[in-house]
Chains A and B, each alone.
Chain A
């Protein structure tokens, strides 16, 4: 048996994993083999350093982070469906309202002649000639737009996203006038 073949046995014995008899045999070989003495001491040294390197304590915060994640996950899984249903109910109701509004026919009739934007009312002094006023100042024509009685409302749809990706709340409002 050459030293290459002894190496595995020496490695096994380096941490006391060879049996008593095998261990004694390995030690006898090491005692008479300079090459295996080097391998033996290097193996023991590298094992000692390996253990030292991995003895660094883990910060308590790292353990706490794992615990918190596990407990949060378990609490989420344990929450009964009926305690979450209001969230889903609200979401479904909001979607239903949004759909009703979206599908509603335009009930407002097209603007009739009476609802047409009024002509600009001219404010002018009939008795005076255009462009002249008693004070001699130049006359100005003032345009005044009357507010429509049934001005068409603008629908605003606000989409609210919640923490739960399955729940989206739609808020529908009507914006009247400017």
Chain B
């Protein structure tokens, strides 16, 4: 499937001519038009940022920075179809910058202690607990593995599109997502022991 077509699918459906008009108006300084453009792409930016950063407040800060950069770089975006790809790329960069300012991720060895937080193994296997554990599992991945997995497995981009967003080769991305999946499975196995 065409890379741009899939990237376009990631954003809410809007007719290209309407989106083009919104971009043109925003370029001319129309803030209402720019707000419309934000509405069109806000899910893509905020959801990706939450998955990469793991915290809503941080993700909102990242989203704000991404949209400010979008406004300042509207002149450089030539086609409407390029907006989602550009947003993914900038969101990843902004989130990486924020992650580097924070402490290093917890080592995988710390997982058994986390499992102790759930008092009853049966209770800990509940859906809410599982959701929390899975959201947490991404924190144990390296930055590159997490990004590749979020874009491929959660945002639904193909390995080729992920490679394009990250500026790396498809082979590298395939290796990263493969390792990330193995680590998530290992995390789940440790976390829930016999419940998985």
Give me the interface of A with B, judged by CB distance under 8 Å: 7-9, 11-12, 14-15, 17, 39, 42-43, 45-47, 49-54, 56, 58, 62-63, 65-67, 69-71, 73-75, 78
Contact = CB atoms under 8 A, between A and B. Distances in A.
Secondary structure at chain B's binding surface: helix, strand, loop or mixed? helix
Contacts of B67: 66-67, 70
B4 interface: no
A67 B38 contact: yes
Given A53-B130, A53-B134, A67-B35, A62 B56 contact: yes
A66 B29 contact: no
Interface in B117-153: 130-132, 134-135, 137, 152-153
Contacts of B189: 42
B88 interface: no
Interface residues of B, number: 41
6 contacts: A11-B178, A17-B177, A47-B153, A65-B60, A71-B34, A74-B31
Contact of A53 (B47, B60, B135): B135
B46 A49 contact: no
B26 to A, nearest CB: 10
Interface of B: 29, 31, 34-35, 38-39, 42-43, 46-47, 50-51, 56, 60, 63-64, 67-68, 71, 130-132, 134-135, 137, 152-154, 159, 174-175, 177-179, 181-182, 184-185, 188-189, 196
A12 B34 contact: no
A105 to B, nearest CB: 53
Contacts of A45: 196
Contacts, number: 110
B50 A17 contact: no
Contacts of A12: 174, 177-178, 181
A11 B29 contact: no
B49 to A, nearest CB: 10
Given A11-B181, A51-B153, A53-B134, A58 B47 contact: yes
B137 A50 contact: yes
Given A66-B67, A73-B68, A49 B130 contact: yes
A169 to B, nearest CB: 31
Contacts of A39: 185
